Homo-oligomer: A and B are copies of this chain.
Amino acid sequence: MSIYTPGQVAEETGFSLDTLRYYERIGLLEPIERNSAGQRRFSEEDVGWLGMVRCLRDTGMPIAEMLRFTALVRGGRQTIGERITLLEAHDREVEEQISRLRERQAAIQRKIHHYRDLLTEQADPAPCAEDPAGRAAEAASN
């Protein structure tokens, strides 16, 4: 079973050395094994757990909730039901996030198209300097 130095773990997981130490301090990682010189040696399992952490972080789970999940995992098999509940709730939140992002993205794209229209209008034979309609459109759309 292979073993990783802090540098390797940082490389693989994308967490900085400081962040790894921070996560251990706050208990998101259980105390990492040390070599004779007191330097950390991460196990395969540690790295796997960090993958899970990455996943939850990147989907917006706050650290406090990850700590709750961590506690469940440490609690052994009888907490599996609760873990499912927690992850399902999070999954729903992610779903929500995605659909809100999609909506907002659509609005942004409409805005882009609107700007495009403005550009081509501007490139046209120029509908005379005092153009109330054009102004209104600009005002209504920033």
Contact = CB atoms under 8 A, between A and B. Distances in A.
A90 B48 CA distance: 32
A104 B138 contact: no
A65 interface: no
Interface stretch (A7-15, A17-25, A109-117): A109-117
The bracket for how many chain A residues form the interface is 35 or more
A62 to B, nearest CB: 15
Contact of A104 (B58, B107, B112): B58
B58 A118 contact: no
A84 interface: yes
A98 interface: yes
A55 B52 CA distance: 30
Contacts of A140: 45, 48
Interface of A: 45, 48-49, 52, 55-56, 58-59, 73, 77, 80-81, 83-84, 87-88, 90-91, 94-95, 97-98, 100-102, 104-105, 107-109, 111-112, 115-116, 118-119, 122, 138-140, 142
With a 10 A CB-CB cut-off, give which of A77, A88, A105 has the most chain B CB atoms: A105
